[in-house]
């Protein structure tokens, strides 16, 4: 077991924007006289990621110089790699209540005061450079582009001073037991004696190919962090609570607890493909992860990105831009002839030998109460999904 130190956070310092109880009391008093901004689901996710240091080195929503630099060059204005601008968009009415140099109170939709923000910058939301730079498309059918188009015409930049990231009316999907901050995962890794940790990012249940990637990564590291995204996703994605039951089930039956951790990441999906792969990697670096699994079409949607674009973008970075190491995996599938999981690197391709199922086919089987082949999905996981798929009408993607 390795006993070395953990990987440093991105930018060198792990940010913490959650204030003390004394500061929180003062901010509650101040907030009564401040302009009010009610955050969207995506903005609430972003606030939490900033607050706990997952988006280090960000200390707030980005200002205009950083916004333009990120969109055009995938870097903050100071040159630090950051691939997607974390913005706070508002409409004309809200913008009219704000003043550069002032402050604003940020609220959850249920009325919970979440933070007070320094209004350092108020600037026009340039959707064109965001869509072309981040998403490589302006097609409104792309869920990330659609979200940008529907946001307000103004962006507010400045540091945040966060009272809480948990709304008063907890929606039942906070996963408190698994919602570890970067400082907490780092403490957990250190307690286990891990210095090299592989992370698996997912917004779907883990099928056999995913399991194969995770176990290959575990072989070369001290441990594995299964780190599903549980923030805002698009309609049609499997609900986070169902996915969490799937993760718990597969870990119980098919992973070694001594070398496996499960924690959640409260980020919102952008579906930005290559750029989002880089974001997911640097975020995991902040959580203390040294190796990050980047598989086929990471964070992609539709056919907007090439199969391995999310891997190739890491080759565009300079040495020292990220401390985390991307683990670039080929597409894997069960081979009847090999009687196991294989990839193009490990076994010759034979016509009709490998088990491939489309997402539509899998959903159809589940909705009919049928398990997909065991070569595709573990039966215990399939049963969890069948229970969900036959009890509710899934939203069409």
CA distance linking residue 30 with residue 88, whole number of Å? 21
How many Cβ atoms are within 10 Å of 129's Cβ, its own excluded? 14
- If DSSP codes are grouped into helix, strand and coil, which group holds residue 266? coil
How many Cβ atoms are within 10 Å of 187's Cβ, its own excluded? 14
- If DSSP codes are grouped into helix, strand and coil, which group holds residue 124? strand
CA distance linking residue 270 with residue 267, whole number of Å? 9
For the four alpha carbons of 145, 149, 152 and 156, in that order, the dihedral sign comes to: positive
- If DSSP codes are grouped into helix, strand and coil, which group holds residue 118? strand
Told to judge if 16 belongs to the known catalytic residues of this protein, a careful annotator would answer no
In order, the DSSP letters of 281-302 are HHHHHHTT-SEEEE-TTTT--T
The answer to whether the CB of 298 falls within 8 A of the CB of 280 is yes
Told to judge if 204 belongs to the known catalytic residues of this protein, a careful annotator would answer yes
Q: Output DSSP code: residue 313.
A: G
Catalytic residue among 17, 103, 186, 203: 203
**CA 109 to each of CA 72, 171, 232: distance values in angstroms, whole numbers, following the listed order:** 32, 12, 14
Catalytic residue among 127, 136, 204, 371: 204
Enzyme catalytic residues: 203-204
């Amino acid at each position: 077991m390795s006993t070395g130190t953990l990987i440093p956070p991105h930018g060198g310092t792990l940010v913490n924007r959650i204030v003390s109880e004394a500061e929180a009391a003062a901010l509650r008093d101040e907030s009564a006289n401040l302009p009010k901004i009610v955050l969207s689901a995506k903005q609430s996710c972003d606030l939490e990621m900033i607050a706990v240091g997952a988006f280090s080195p960000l200390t707030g929503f980005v200002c205009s110089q950083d916004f333009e630099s990120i969109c055009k060059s995938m870097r903050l204005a100071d040159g630090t790699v950051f691939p997607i601008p974390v913005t706070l968009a508002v409409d004309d009415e809200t913008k009219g209540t704000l003043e550069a140099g002032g402050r604003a109170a940020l609220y959850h939709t249920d009325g919970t005061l979440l933070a007070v923000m320094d209004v350092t910058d108020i600037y026009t939301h340039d959707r064109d450079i965001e869509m072309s730079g981040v998403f490589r498309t302006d097609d409104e059918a792309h869920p990330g582009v659609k979200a940008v188009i529907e946001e307000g015409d103004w962006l507010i930049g400045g540091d945040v001073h966060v009272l809480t990231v948990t709304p008063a009316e907890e929606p039942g999907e906070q996963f408190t037991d698994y919602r570890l901050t970067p400082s907490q995962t780092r403490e957990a890794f250190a307690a286990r004696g891990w210095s090299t940790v592989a992370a698996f990012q997912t917004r779907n249940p883990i099928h056999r190919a995913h399991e194969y990637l995770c176990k290959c990564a575990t072989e070369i590291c001290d441990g594995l962090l299964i780190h599903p995204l549980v923030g805002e996703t698009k309609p049609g994605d499997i609900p986070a609570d169902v996915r969490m039951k799937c993760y718990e089930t597969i870990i119980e039956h098919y992973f070694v607890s001594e070398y496996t951790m499960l924690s959640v990441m409260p980020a919102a999906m952008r579906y930005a493909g290559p750029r989002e792969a880089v974001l997911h990697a640097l975020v995991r670096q902040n959580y203390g992860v040294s190796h990050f699994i980047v598989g086929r079409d990471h964070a992609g949607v539709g056919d907007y990105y090439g199969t391995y674009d999310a891997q190739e973008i890491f080759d565009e970075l300079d040495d020292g831009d990220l401390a985390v190491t991307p683990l670039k995996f080929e597409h894997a599938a069960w081979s009847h002839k090999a009687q196991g999981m294989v990839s193009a690197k490990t076994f010759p391709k034979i016509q009709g030998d490998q088990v491939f199922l489309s997402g539509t086919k899998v959903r159809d089987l589940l909705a009919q109460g049928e398990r997909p082949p065991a070569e595709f999905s573990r039966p215990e996981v399939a049963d969890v999904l069948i229970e969900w798929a036959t009890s509710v009408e899934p939203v069409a993607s």
